Amino acid sequence: MEWPRPRLPYLKKRHRVTLFSARLWLRHVLFWGGAVVVGLVATAFAMGSDHAHVLFKKLLAISPWLPLLVTPLTLAGVAALTQRYFKGAEGSGIPQTIAALRMPDGADRDRVLSLRLALGKILLTCVGLAGGASVGREGPTVQIGAALLYNLRWLTRFPRHLMDRGLIIAGGGAGVAAAFNTPLAGIVFAIEEMARSFEERSSGILLTAVIIAGLAAIYVQGDYTYFGATDATLSGTSGWQGVFLCGLVGGALGGGFSRLLLAFSERGLPGRTGSFMRAHPVYFAAACGLLLALIGLASGNTVYGSGYQEARSLLEGSGEVPASYGLWKMLATFVSFISGIPGGLFAPSLSAGAGIGQVVAGWVTQADAGSLVVIGMAAYFAGVVQAPITAFVIVMEMTDNHDMVVPLMLATLLATAVSRLICPRPLYKGLARNYLVRVRPPAPKEHGF
């Protein structure tokens, strides 16, 4: 049976009514306002994180031994608050956001993207940074941005495809853009890492959210580049040898780091240590804090916080950062992550990559050191997250260096290929799957990972 076609005048009338309907414009205004809020909240979070790290630096100025007391107490306190009041806020926030995209049940998704959890993420990440944790705010900002836009559905009715995925993806991308002042990277990250596809129906809402959130952040903080501007370039055979080495080393170390994190996320620690961790998570967090303080002493107090200052000093060639900084920063970030406190991997991974680039620059002395630091950042980050396009775009925007596009692309693609040999499952995708298993044990292949 063939259904009769609707008349053309009816279609025109329906389109005209929809275009000028009050509900449509209310939806647009609420969405634009939500994107502005994402930008402002990301900016406030950035300022709070910076003040928290400054507070910890003042503590170090009093005595470099104080972290042996303060860091364990802080991590234990943050872990206790997370377990008691903000369950689900631990870790980066990106795996939780990806998991929310794959949750078929609204109640589970509502818990992961609740405003209470977003607030806890902000407060506890700042407290952790004030205690010296090696974490970043960018991953948490993804979950916060996704939560803010997702909860707009309580104010008006959105189309089904936006409620299921569009608002979450747009909020996550807007969070990255506002956190780093990298609008292009926010769009690429949302497509490459969160959505894993480009949906035509959601593309406009993603672009709009990123642009508005980025403009709101710029209005408060000004137009800036996260690591400052660098005009470092590569030339000659030695420079391309450095690109190749950064790709190999960054991919191998990033893949190893991801594999260890995924193994811990799936099985925890073996033996009595694992049993103690599961039975006493707060005491385990305190032990991680003590280990972090010892790493801080061994590294000359360079591994605390996001690593922003150390990475910037390496890019500018100023300041004293030890040659072993990259490895110490990787270890400090791993210890901070397994402690169970909220905090992201973006900035610490970029900082560790800068340290790796510094080491490679010592091997290839004929090449420009600053350029290899930039490439090391992108290569190690690509090795950790296995998202090569996001890696080279975000580093390019954060250093305002468009002359390095080709070397960055080559290094990130090579690093991703090496990383996948060591860790076949991408980090955030694997962490999201493990999170879903803990929250709601699935049937085989239920969540499509």
If DSSP codes are grouped into helix, strand and coil, which group holds residue 136?
strand
At 158, give phi and psi (nearest 5°).
-105, 155
pLDDT in tens, 346-389: 889 999 999 999 999 888 877 788 888 889 999 999 999 998 88
Q: What is the DSSP string of 194-234?
A: IISS--HHHHHHHHHHHHHHHHHHHHHH-S--TT-------
| CA-closest candidate to residue 246, choices 336, 351, 357, 410 | 357
Set out the domains of the chain in order of their start, with CATH numbers: 30-221 (1.10.3080.10), 236-430 (1.10.3080.10)
- pTM comes to 0.86
pLDDT of residue 78: 94
Average pLDDT over residues 23-46: 80
Q: What is the pLDDT of residues 392-428, one digit of tens each?
A: 888 887 777 677 788 889 999 999 999 999 999 999 8
Phi/psi region, residue 386 (left: phi>0; alpha: psi -120 to 50; beta: rest), is left
* pLDDT at res. 59: 92
Alpha-carbon torsion 351, 356, 358, 364, what sign?
negative
Q: What is the pLDDT of residue 270?
A: 77
CA 90 – CA 194 distance, rounded (Å)? 19
Looking at per-residue pLDDT, the higher value among 93 and 288 belongs to: 288
pLDDT given for residue 231 in this prediction? 62
Model pLDDT for residues 112-164, shown as the tens digit of each residue: 888 999 999 999 999 999 999 999 888 899 899 889 988 887 776 766 656 66
What average pLDDT does the structure give for the chain? Answer: 81
Tokens at residue 423, please?
């860790």
Q: What is the pLDDT of residues 235-254, one digit of tens each?
A: 666 678 888 999 999 999 99
